[in-house]
A and B are shown apart, each in its own frame.
Chain A
Amino acid sequence: MEKKPFERPLIKRLNAGMPSKFGMHTHIEALTEIDGLKVEDLVAEHGSPLYVLSERILRKTYRDAYNVFSTRYPRVQFAWSYKTNYLDAVCNVFHQEGAWAEVVSGFEYEKAVRNGVPGSRIIFNGPDKQEEDLKLAIQNGSLIHIDHFDELYLLLELAEKGTGKPKVAIRINMDTGIYPQWDRFGFNYENGEAWEALNRILLSEKMELVGLHTHIGTYILTADAYRIAASKLAILATGIERKYGKVIRYIDIGGGFASKNTLKGAYIPGTDAAPSFEEYADAVSSALIKSDIKPENLPLLVLETGRALVDDAGFLLGTVLANKRLADGRRATIADIGVNLLFTSFWYQHEVLPAQEVSQHTEDTTLYGPLCMNIDVIRDAIDFPLLKKGDHIVIKRIGAYNMTQWLQFITYRPRVVMIDESGKVHVIREREDLEHLIRLERIPAHLKSDDARKK
């Protein structure tokens, strides 16, 4: 007779009529497959932990977002935010879909060029642009978004030295009714600093002002903030046209759209709280269309959406290493995914799902990583099914920032694979190994192992 599957025994106190902090009980569905491929097979072949990206979801999310904006506004251009995920395979999916590149450092600029993005389709943002980076960007005709006066004057100097005529926009910070107001980037709208920068650029005639840019914040849960931002940029654009007869070619509304992840401390899950692309698009496009910009001069609308385009396409697969009890009897589960691989766990309550069928029984569990550090907590309180050592878990919506802000710590960073639209798995970043990690190290002669042993 075939034996029954074993589930570890569980006893749980009932609090009749009292919803727990997780709300009323909901059944946790296992996520056994990603794009038709079994999680178990992916881990068996590529190891655990494992980052998985779905090309299907990447493309679908991009097309959904593009369609939503382009059906509301006549001229729309996305620029892929490299810092969100600059793995070449991911960037190239978005470039194939038609996205430009939006970079914030010399390194990212080099990556975009290497990925074959024409210079004129690279937006160069950020407060740290080195002189050499700027020279290259000027020569390539890239769109330089000036962050501060030091950069503005450096560009003037380079232009005077004959490097070329920089194509520039200025980044503008402003009050859009949200907190915190990101006033550390760019020039302020309300106190007139933005106009000072614009006057300096336009009066110099050494630079070509092509756009206006803002990036109001991150994970913005109110679409109305974008309406305010777009309106203020439109007021500047009409002012520039009136004063200088100069038509602004594009308005870049930046990024900051929320993904469906749930922020820590939020009572409403991100799937319910985050505005849809439609809401953001309505806010931005209606503000521009209703503005005083002449219809024939409507600027290109540039979007630097990162998180909302890539988060859903990323999955992090892991394995349960151990179960234990904390001093008060609470369950603790240790998985092989540390906070170094899931940087976003510092601000998201990531959805963690079992990768195999489970019963309806759950326990209040703390999910730890393997790092031997007290801060290594993936979820500090999660109603979780009864997993055993060796069982697999899937963490959803991890495509944004985790593959750029990850840290190599005490072990190797794992493989990253992409499942293409036909279901074929491609390794897009190899697992690190010792050779890779020590390649940049140099040992002084007196510390080489033979000499060190003699001493």
Chain B
Amino acid sequence: MIRLKKNIAVSDTGFVFDPSTGESFTVNETGMKIIGYLKEGKSSEEITSLITQEYNIDPLSFEKYSQDFMDMLKQYDMLEYEKEV
């Protein structure tokens, strides 16, 4: 299962800090929601369900945008893979 690295700090106002590189990032509202859910350990299905309930977007379209967002998190080396036990 993919999850956000534990040491990534997220503020309430949309700033993300990665202490391992010292880099800061800004996220928009939907990006912040997804990062929050990832931090809570929610699965991609759960995230899709939560976002599509709150925002005017269908699950298929959301999958397209969330995949792109996850790719960017990967690019910034913010994700880790939790081994299934």
Contacts and interface: CB of A to CB of B under 8 A. Distances in A.
B46 interface: no
B68 A323 contact: yes
Contact residues of A: prevailing secondary structure: loop
Contact of A12 (B26, B33, B56): B26
A14 B71 CA distance: 18
Given A8-B68, A11-B27, A13-B23, 8 more contacts: A7-B29, A8-B30, A9-B66, A10-B28, A11-B31, A12-B27, A14-B23, A14-B24
Interface in A1-55: 3-14, 16
Interface string B10-26: 00000110000001111
Nearest to A16: B24
B55 A329 contact: no
B26 A325 contact: no
B81 interface: no
Contacts of B16: 11
Contacts of B65: 8-9, 388
Interface in B1-51: 15-16, 23-31, 33-35, 51
Given A11-B16, A13-B23, A329 B72 contact: yes
Interface residues of A, number: 20
The 5 closest A-B pairs by CB, nearest first: A9-B31, A6-B57, A6-B55, A9-B69, A8-B65
Nearest to B75: A329
A11 B72 contact: yes
A90 to B, nearest CB: 40
8 contacts: A5-B56, A9-B28, A10-B28, A11-B35, A13-B76, A14-B15, A361-B26, A388-B61
A14 B57 contact: no
A359 B25 contact: no
A386 interface: yes
